[in-house]
Amino acid sequence: MFARAVSRHFLRPSALPIARPAIPTSFTLSALQRRFLSDETRQAIDKAVKSAPVVLFMKGTPETPQCGFSRASIQVLGMQGVDPNKFAAFNVLEDPELRQGIKEYSDWPTIPQLYVDKEFVGGCDIIISMHQSGELAKLLEEKQVLASPEATESSETKQE
């Protein structure tokens, strides 16, 4: 409803009243979008974010990523040595409400999205940048979400 009214005014400027109300500078489209995130979807995302210390909302699964950005994010987390027991991934392609809702929840327009210790970290570009600078390794170590060297060695031995 609001979007139609605004569109109509922009299409026909002569229809605008002479005295226009001031729009606060803090007014953003994302504030409007957040209103459309249902309580049910917000609660489901809250639960998902709290389900593990490291959570990735992605396209596809860690075994079969469905986009290059999701694949790159999974590869970085693997190179960093994130403990699989402290990691959860959610496939946004399985649920359109989740796919749109996570964007509104984080106020971040793209997927994948990484959360560490219930805090939003960023998308693929941020993950890669933090990986390259060493910030991601430091964060993951501080949050104690890395696999122990013994666990890594035993899993490598099983694969051989």
Q: Quickly tell me which residue has 């940048």 as its tokens.
A: 129
Model confidence over 129-156: pLDDT tens digits?
999 999 999 999 999 999 987 654 555 5
Domain, as residue range, for 89: 38-146
pTM score, two decimals?
0.73
Tell me the DSSP string of 9-58.
Answer: HHH-GGGS-SSPPPPPTT--HHHHHHHTS-HHHHHHHHHHHTSSSEEEEE
Q: Which residue has the higher pLDDT, 118 or 28?
A: 118
The total of structural domains in the chain comes to 1
pLDDT of residue 17: 41
pLDDT of residue 13: 38
Q: In CATH, what number is assigned to the domain containing residue 46?
A: 3.40.30.10
pLDDT of residue 53: 97
